[in-house]
A and B are shown apart, each in its own frame.
Chain A
Amino acid sequence: MALTKVFTRPDSLRDLDFHFCPGCHHGTAHRLICEAIDYHGIKKKTIGIPGVGCGVFLYNYFDLDVCEAPHGRAPAVATGFKRVLPQNIIFTYQGDGDLGSIGMSEIIHTANRGENITVFFINNSVYGMTGGQMAPTTLPGQKTTTTPYGRDFRTEGYPIRMTEMLAPLEGVAFAARVSLHTPSQVKKARKAVLRALDIQLKNGGFSFVEFLCACPTNWGLSPRQCIEKIDKEMLQAFPLGTYKDRQGS
């Protein structure tokens, strides 16, 4: 009986093993973005701009043109690319330390200018690559190497909700938060990624997708426990949903 291959690696994702830790959701985010690029058939004209963090090796895995940006400055680099090459599709891929901390200024002004780029934001509530320090998105009470007794809001503040913060800005066309911890959430995330790139293809303006991801190594949990933590704790602090969809509404 004939069998059909119904699921395989996307074309834009090179046939390499990821360097990510077991249970890390960076790989899932990589795959979804590649699937969306293949779906829209824009592999030849897409340029990816990773920030600094575990996602920095994007140039190894994506079969695309890639330009590295200094810490937090990916939206600024993307702005330059888009203005010089308006026909190309430009996306940035940034973590929470990169986008929410050192790159806060760049992301807000890029969003406010309504630059026609797409930003993929990986929120795992911790600095992954540098060894598990507190990020702006760290949950209250979460232990990290710089908050060994748990994040205390009186001294370290509260987690920043980037999607909620960017959505009201005039220049933002699409802002959504998705999670990658269950297969059904991955399917919803795929739709959000497709929509974000679709808006850029239609010159709709700035599009932003935040992924809730696990960091088993720096959380000190097994991948199984990480799923529970996302389900019970992260979804409380970071509610999922599409916060703005200008063309859809």
Chain B
Amino acid sequence: MNRIEIRDESCKGCQYCVIFCPRELVQIDKGRINALGYNPARFVDNPDRPCRGCALCAEICPDALIEVYRKEKGRS
């Protein structure tokens, strides 16, 4: 399963990753406030439309907080 890791303690909640995720798998965690005082982004995978590892969220993250892990090629 592809996934991303968000370093949410440093996230400023700009929502760029939320806007650009083509599968709407990144959300703002309204129930949590991080040390910087923002509601951080959170990765919520959905089995119906799983993460493709396209890395658009990581491309757009202005703080370079997202790491993307993808299944090795040829096994999808």
Hey, which bits of chain A sit against chain B, CB under 8 A? 1-10, 13, 17-18, 20-28, 30-31, 182-183, 186-187, 216, 223-224, 227
The 8 closest A-B pairs by CB, nearest first: A22-B12, A27-B62, A7-B68, A23-B14, A183-B59, A22-B14, A3-B69, A183-B56
Knowing A17-B10, A183-B20 are in contact, say whether A6-B62 is a contact too (CB < 8 A). Answer: no
Q: Return chain A residues, CB-CB under 8 Å to B60.
A: 28, 182-183, 186
- What residue of chain B has the Cβ atom nearest to residue A187's Cβ? B59
CB pair A6–B19 under 8 Å, yes or no, is no
CA distance A46 to B30 in the complex (A): 42
Hey, which bits of chain B sit against chain A, CB under 8 A? 1-3, 10, 12-16, 19-20, 36, 38, 53, 55-56, 58-64, 66-72, 75
Knowing A25-B62, A27-B63, A187-B59 are in contact, say whether A3-B13 is a contact too (CB < 8 A). Answer: no
- What residue of chain B has the Cβ atom nearest to residue A214's Cβ? B62
CA distance A4 to B67 in the complex (A): 10
Q: Return chain B residues, CB-CB under 8 Å to A13.
A: 64
6 CB-based A-B contacts, threshold 8 Å: A3-B2, A6-B70, A7-B59, A9-B64, A17-B10, A27-B62
Distance in angstroms from A235 CB to nearest chain B CB is 17
CB pair B59–A18 under 8 Å, yes or no, is no
Q: Return chain A residues, CB-CB under 8 Å to B1.
A: 1
- What residue of chain A has the Cβ atom nearest to residue B67's Cβ? A8
Q: Return chain B residues, CB-CB under 8 Å to A216.
A: 14
Identify which of B64, B66, B70, B72 gathers the most chain A CB atoms within 10 Å of its CB. Answer: B64
- What residue of chain A has the Cβ atom nearest to residue B76's Cβ? A1
CA distance A6 to B4 in the complex (A): 10
CB pair A6–B55 under 8 Å, yes or no, is yes
CB pair B3–A3 under 8 Å, yes or no, is yes
Q: Return chain B residues, CB-CB under 8 Å to A28.
A: 60-62, 64
Of B16, B36, B70, the residue contacting A3 (CB under 8 A) is B70
CA distance A8 to B65 in the complex (A): 8
CB pair A27–B19 under 8 Å, yes or no, is no
